Amino acid sequence: MKAFAQLIETVRATPSSSGKVAALADYFCRAEPADAAWALALLNRRRSRQLVEPALLRLWAAEAAAIPLWLIDECHQVAGDLGETLALILPPVAGLNTAPRVPVGESSPDPQGPCPPAHGGSAESALSLRQLIENRLLPLSGLDTAAQHDLVLATWAELGTRQRLLWNRLLTGTFRIGVSRAMLARALARQTSIDPAILEYRMMSGWEPRAEDFRRLVSPETTLDDAARPYPFHPLAEPDEAASAQPPAPDCQVEWDWIGQRLQVIRRRGHTILWSEPKGILTDALPGLAQAASLLPDGTVLEGVLSPRHGGGGPAEPPASASPLLRELARRRTATHPLLFIARDLLESRGVDWRIRPLTKRREELERLFGSTVSAWGDAQRQSQKRSFEQGELFENSAIFSRSRANCTRTPNPSRPPPCPLQLSTLVPVAGSEWSAMRLESVCPPGAAGLLFRRLDSVYGGCRREDAWQRVPLSRAKSSADTAR
Tens-place pLDDT, residues 424-437: 998 887 665 555 54
| CB crowding 214-241: b at 16 or more within 10 Å, else e | beebbeeeeeebebbbbbeebeeeebee
d(CA 49, CA 83): 14
Looking at the DSSP assignment, which residues form a beta bridge with residue 423?
342
For residues 423 and 260, the answer to whether their CB atoms sit within 8 Å is no
Query: For residue 284, what pLDDT is reported?
Result: 81
d(CA 91, CA 71): 14
At residue 212, what is the residue type? Answer: E
How many Å separate Cα 436 from the centre of its chain? 45
Query: For residue 179, what pLDDT is reported?
Result: 83
Other Cβ atoms less than 10 A from the Cβ of 419: the count is 17
Query: For residue 35, what pLDDT is reported?
Result: 92
For residues 36 and 24, the answer to whether their CB atoms sit within 8 Å is no
Report pLDDT digits (tens) over 361-384.
999 999 999 888 888 888 887 777
CB within 8 A of 467, min separation 6: which ones?
Answer: 234, 455, 458, 459, 460, 461
Query: For residue 102, what pLDDT is reported?
Result: 44
Domains, the chain:
2-101+114-172 (1.10.3260.10), 192-228 (no CATH), 242-384+419-484 (3.30.470.30)
Strands 339-349 and 422-424: parallel
Q: What are the start-end ranges of the H helices in 173-286?
A: 181-189, 196-204, 211-217
d(CA 96, CA 33): 33
pTM beyond 0.75: the answer is: no
pLDDT in tens, the chain (485 residues): 889 989 998 998 888 888 999 999 999 999 999 999 999 988 876 566 788 888 998 899 888 888 888 998 888 888 888 888 888 888 876 556 655 554 433 333 343 433 333 333 344 457 889 989 998 888 888 888 899 889 998 888 888 888 899 898 888 888 888 788 888 988 998 888 787 878 877 887 668 889 998 988 888 766 556 677 788 888 887 776 656 556 667 788 889 888 888 999 999 888 888 988 777 788 888 888 888 899 999 999 999 998 876 543 344 455 555 566 655 665 555 455 568 899 999 999 998 999 999 999 999 999 999 888 888 888 887 777 664 444 444 434 444 444 444 444 444 555 566 778 888 998 887 665 555 545 666 677 878 888 888 999 999 987 788 888 988 887 643 443 333 33
Query: For residue 267, what pLDDT is reported?
Result: 92
Report pLDDT digits (tens) over 276-303.
877 778 888 888 888 889 999 999 999 9
Query: For residue 364, what pLDDT is reported?
Result: 94
Query: For residue 400, what pLDDT is reported?
Result: 40
Query: For residue 197, what pLDDT is reported?
Result: 76
d(CA 254, CA 178): 42
CA distances from 19 to 16, 25, 26, 31, 307 (A): 5, 10, 11, 18, 30
CA distances from 367 to 118, 204, 290, 345, 371 (A): 70, 31, 20, 10, 6
